[in-house]
Structure 1
Amino acid sequence: MKWHESIKVKLIGFFIIISLFFLLFIVASFSLFKESLVEKNAIEQARLSTIRIVNQLMETKIKMEEVVVVLASMTAEKYTDKRLDNKVILAFMNAMSNKHVSSGGVWFEPNSADHSLKNEFIFFDKDKTDKFHLVRDYVLPNGKNYREMEFYVLGKQLKKGETFWTNVYTDPITHVRMITVVSPIYQDDRFIGVASIDMEVGHYMGSLKAHSDRYMMVLDRSGTFIAKSPSVKNVISAENIYKVKAQKVMPVAVIIRENLSKRKKKIIQKYKDEAKALSQSSYEIDRNDAEMIIGIMHQQENTIETETYFLEDDPILKTDSILAIFYFTDTGTSLVVGMSEAVVLENTNKNYSTIIWITFLTTVLATILGYLLLKRYFVAPLESVNAQLEDNIQEDGHYRFLNCEDKGEIGQLVYNLNSRTLALEDAQRREREEVRKRLANEKLLIQQSKMAAMGEMMDAVAHQWKQPLNALSMYSEIIKSDFADGSVDRKYIDEFSQNIQIQIDHMVDTLDEFRSFFRPDKENEDFTVSEVIDSVMFLTKDEFMKNRIVISVEKESEIKLHGSKNEFKHLILNIINNAKDAFNDNNIEGKRMITIRLLDDEHGRRIEIEDNAGGIPKEVIPDIFKANVTTKEEGKGTGIGLYMSMQIAEKYGAELTVKNVNEGACFTILFEH
């Protein structure tokens, strides 16, 4: 047995393969799990790194919204048919002391406060002492009407107590970048105006500090920057993400644009009609922005939606990064945080490496333990059984029973093997008995066949002796007559003696040939097939002549053999005697011919013995060379002649076959080259 055929090697290979597959499966699973964790970690890291600014944004947002809602409510409460007391508003604003509020106002519908005034508003601004004062000469440029401006149109769309944030804009009077939160003013469910609170964008900038491994930016719903961290400000000077032209920061801009566009697509298909009316109400609101505004106003829940993107060679961080975008659904504001991927995944990679090592070591230990357990409970019992099988025959020839302590399948296997051993010994005993009987029967049949052949040969010898015996009898009568006539002299006696000796020599030759035919050869010898055929013809020619059979021998090639000449004579004799019996059994009246050919050509070195005795029944041909098979009537054939002939042919490495040809059968003895 080769080493790689050992069950130990196969088990080790099996466990190694299973372990590798298991390890690969675990690694692949953890890799996929890691990918999902990356996004979660990125979001979590972004939340942790921006929790302060997000809280500040939310705190500022809530305070600003509280101020504008209270301002709108107070205005509605203090409003009279005459005028609103300006001092009340100023006192309220100064009392709020909100550092983020830089300006604001109360803006009325036509003739709502004073029927004589079509446009009435109260605008207040913060001076250098952080105190609010009224701006009495606040005039919109180019004679624009505040009711057509974005903040007023948005406020008019809201219900009582609701708020909404405008996009970032540049104040036409102060020329400062602003963002405004508005709330409607209702009195007795009648809309009378809009309260607004303004905040300078610069307040956000202070919250975004510089970091080497991250950057942040805040954008409104239209993509205008509300705030940028210093690293972003250094590379992006545009006021809107859609106006960024620098190619080196384009990968970041494209991701943000696609994110904003995706959110817009979710909304713009739903509120086309409302958006059309809204965009027509203000020259500052285009159709797309109007659709976004209507969508945000219809938002049922105020949530923060987060998406992450992986960016190779971030142009701002100069390394691979993870971009997290936080979208505030109630304002349409986006907080963008870019972080170094290495920093985000540092803990994840450490945990991943630890898990892989633990998995690898566990797999190795499980493999070793599994192999040892299988070796103890599977391989060892099999090795014990195999060792017993290698020396399983006792001196008396019987098999030893196998021993096994295993109580499971291997023990059951050993029990079955022992049962099979008992059955095998019984079968072998019965087979030996059958073989003994068969050999005895075959020996008896062979003996009978030899005796039958001997009887036929003795008949042939007797037939050949008949002629010389008749001649000797005739010579006896002749000598008597010639003696009476006085013609017997010395010369007569010499000739008479010579003729008698010729007849006696013929009888002796016949007897010697007969004796040598049936005498077993003491040793093998070289001989030719021609010699065998001549010997058979010498003994059988008279018998075949008596049965009107002509034997023709065609010696196209001589065939030399080494073995028992007399045994090979029996092969030829069996075949031609069968042909003789077939002629008589089939009552062939015409010319009876047996042709013996010695051939050596492209078809092989062979002997063909062909007759015209009627052939062999087709159903008998497949079994014709088996023992006890005969085509003769019961009592006339032993069924052993052709079986013996086949056995003799195989001794010479030849194949004996038969087929029907023309009006008879053709036996072929084909020798190996």
Structure 2
Amino acid sequence: MKNVNIELESKDELGAMAKAINAQMEQIEKDLHQDRKLIEEATDIVKTLKKGGRDKRLVRNSNSKELNTLKLVMNEMMDDLGQKIQEEINQRSDQEKLLIQQSKLASMGNMIGNIAHQWRQPLSEINAILMTLQVRHMHNDLGGDFLNTQIEKCNEITDFMSNTINDFQNFFKPSKTKEFFDLDVACKKAVNILHSSLKHHHIEFEFKNDETPTILGYPNEFSQAFLNILSNAKDVLIDRNIKNPKITVLTKVGHQFILIQIKDNAGGIKEDNLDRIFEPYFTTKHAKQGTGIGLYMSKTIIEGNMDGTIEAENHKDGACITIKLHAIQSNKKQEVKL
């Protein structure tokens, strides 16, 4: 603002009045300048808030009582907003921890069920061997060579059962750092966990792939996410008592992205539920059959840890879950390895 003074040199009452008016004008100009700086500061803080910043506060003062009151109100509002946001973050963090814990418990329950399926046949074989030994012993026909052969068979079976436990332990052990891994191997790891259960329920499984892609991420976490999707498809097929049940996995490799599609022939997902199946605690199963966490955790792993996307849609025979991940260029992979 340009300074405009009344130029009057007289020493009479008019001169004194001019000096007083000039002094008031100078003070008003200083006050306006101070007020303008406070308003500019407030404008900058509002812009920072819009960008997510919450640390700045108004520090300039004004000779205007109203502006100083506004400054105090704004600072109190920002303090209150910051506190509420932090409380919300803490609450969500606690909820996230609870979901992860519940997911682990659900995974342990599924793991025990899958181990039971994996062990059913070996235990039956051991039982058959013991019955044979008992019968031959009753008829005094239990030679040393035959006994040793049967003991070796039992040892092989128990080794298989022990390896099954190791496989499950390694499967649920979290990956500590990102690494390059074979997508097909990670997928088949999950399939092996479910193999006996799929076979027991007569569910056909088909794996189609154009080539064997390599991706960067957390292999065990990806396998868990993939297992959750397969388990969900398996449960739906069983629950709906589908004739000739089938799960098909198809991988497609492009220059920028890799698509993994998991399809079933269970009739599909209701349109109202398509946008909700990845929400925490959402389930269409009976309360005792599902927690509604599996697909949510799959989404969290794929989108949060693998920088990918996951979507659900229906095809002519059932549901299709599509995972989209970034493809790794061979030259980039070699550079990282070096």
Looking at structure 2, the residues matched to 406 and 654 of structure 1 have their Cα atoms a distance apart, in angstroms, of 55
Give secondary structure in 1 for the equivalent of 2:271. coil
Listed as ranges, the matches of 1:410-429 within 5 Å are: 412-429=66-83
Cα distance change on mapping 1:566 and 1:414 into 2, 3 Å: farther
Q: State the shift of 1:401 in Å.
A: 5.5
Q: 1:630 aligns with which of 260, 283, 290?
A: 283
1:571/1:374 CA distance change after superposition, 3 Å: farther
Determine helix, strand or coil for the equivalent of 2:62. Answer: coil
Q: 2:318 aligns with which of 658, 664, 668?
A: 664
Partner amino acid for 2:271? K
Indicate the residue corresponding to 1:551 in structure 2.
Answer: 205
Q: Is the 8 A contact 1:457 1:540 kept in 2?
A: no
When the two chains are superposed, the root-mean-square deviation of aligned CA atoms in Å is 3.1
Partners of 1:465 and 1:493 in 2: CA distance: 23
The answer to whether 1:439 aligns with 2:93 is yes
CA shift in 2, pair 1:378/1:448, >3 Å: same
- Shift of residue 381, structure 1, vs aligned partner: 3.5
Structure 1 partner of 2:248? 595
| Structure 1: gaps (5+ residues) | 1-10, 13-371, 391-396
Distance 1:375 1:584, change over 3 A: farther
Indicate how the Cα distance of structure 1 residues 624 and 375 shifts in structure 2: closer, same or farther if over 3 A, else same: farther
Superposition pairs for residues 616-627 of structure 1, below 5 Å?
Answer: 616-627=269-280
Rate the CA distance shift 1:668–1:497 in 2: closer, same or farther, 3 A.
same
Give 1:562 deviation, angstroms: 2.5
Residue aligning to 2:5:
none
Query: What SS does the aligned partner of 1:619 have?
Result: helix
Q: Is the 8 A contact 2:191 2:227 kept in 1?
A: no
The aligned residue for residue 376 of structure 1 is 30
Rate the CA distance shift 1:634–1:484 in 2: closer, same or farther, 3 A.
closer
Q: Is the 8 A contact 1:623 1:629 kept in 2?
A: yes
AA aligned to 1:618 is E
* Alignment of structure 1 residues 5-404 onto 2, 5 Å: 376-383=30-37, 402-404=59-61
Aligned counterpart, 1:405 = 62
Q: Contact 1:624–1:630 (CA<8 Å) still a contact in 2?
A: yes
* Alpha-carbon distance in 2 for matches of 1:480, 1:576: 42
Q: Percent identity?
A: 28
Question: Per the alignment, in what secondary structure is the counterpart of residue 623 of structure 1?
Answer: coil
* CA distances 1:616-670 after superposition (whole Å, capped 9, x unpaired): 2212223332333333344543332222212211222211111111121111111
Partners of 2:266 and 2:317 within 8 A in 1 = yes
Q: 1:560 to 1:602 in 2, by over 3 A?
A: closer
User: Contact (CA 8 Å) 2:207, 2:249: kept in 1 or not?
Assistant: yes
Q: Which residue of 1 aligns with 2:301?
A: 648
Matches within 5 A, 1:573-612: 573-585=227-239, 587-601=240-254, 604-612=257-265
Question: TM-score by structure 1 length?
Answer: 0.40
> 8 Å contact 2:34–2:61 — kept in the other structure?
no
Which structure is larger by alpha-carbon Rg, 1 or 2?
1
TM-score scaled to structure 2, two decimals?
A: 0.76
Greater RCO, CA 8 A, separation 6+: 2
CA contact (8 A) 1:615 1:660 kept: yes
How many residues are treated as equivalent by the alignment?
296
Structure 1 contact 609–668 (Cα < 8 Å) conserved: yes
Letter in 2 for 1:406: N
Q: Give 1:569's match in structure 2, choosing from 209, 217, 223.
A: 223
For the residues of structure 2 that align with 1:571 and 1:617, how far apart are their CA atoms? 22
Change (3 A) 1:379 1:639: farther
